[in-house]
Amino acid sequence: MSAPDQQPDELVRTETASLRTLVQYAGASGDFYEMHYDIPFARERGHRELAVHGLLKTAWLGRLVEEWFAGRGRITVLDVSYRGMDFRDEPVSCGARVTGRDGDRVVLEVWTAGADGTRTTIGTAEVALTEGRS
């Protein structure tokens, strides 16, 4: 993905959060809401499993776009809405697709989806191109 003209317009990869991941994220972020690591607490609130932090999913999306545009641009806006929950040890597809370009500004659709393809996060990212402009 080094030649700008050969860049794909869509990138998807899969992330899976283990209990360790959730605890690591809770520790790093300071978000210790029990729904993410205390299974009785989560079930009392009607959830079948420990929920992946919404902000962890957003971080995955941010990383996807940042690594995609590494050395060529930086994210100026990352805006997401959570439409469903994802749970520990279940694969989460993280995707980004270029939807528009205006000068040095690239707009992308971003999303996460569960194993059945249902989108659990939808949103947009904007990237300001810097070096190696395509």
The residues binding other proteins (CB under 8 A) are: 15, 21, 24-25, 27-31, 33, 35, 45, 53-56, 58-60, 62-63, 66-67, 74-82, 123
Output 5 or 88, the one with its CB closest to other proteins: 88
Output 58 or 93, the one with its CB closest to other proteins: 58
Local structure of 54: helix, strand or coil: helix
Please say whether the dihedral angle defined by the alpha carbons of residues 57, 60, 66 and 68, taken in this order, is positive or negative.
negative
Compute the least distance from the CB of residue 84 to other proteins, in Å: 11
Nearest to 59 by CA among 15, 105, 108: 15
Compute the least distance from the CB of residue 82 to other proteins, in Å: 6
Output 6 or 81, the one with its CB closest to other proteins: 81
Output 4 or 27, the one with its CB closest to other proteins: 27
Compute the least distance from the CB of residue 46 to other proteins, in Å: 8
Compute the least distance from the CB of residue 123 to other proteins, in Å: 8
Give the dihedral of Cα atoms 28, 59, 121, 13; nearest 10 deg: -120
Cβ neighbours of residue 110 closer than 8 Å, sequence gap 6 or more: 61, 64, 65, 78, 80, 94, 95, 96, 97, 121, 122, 123, 124, 125
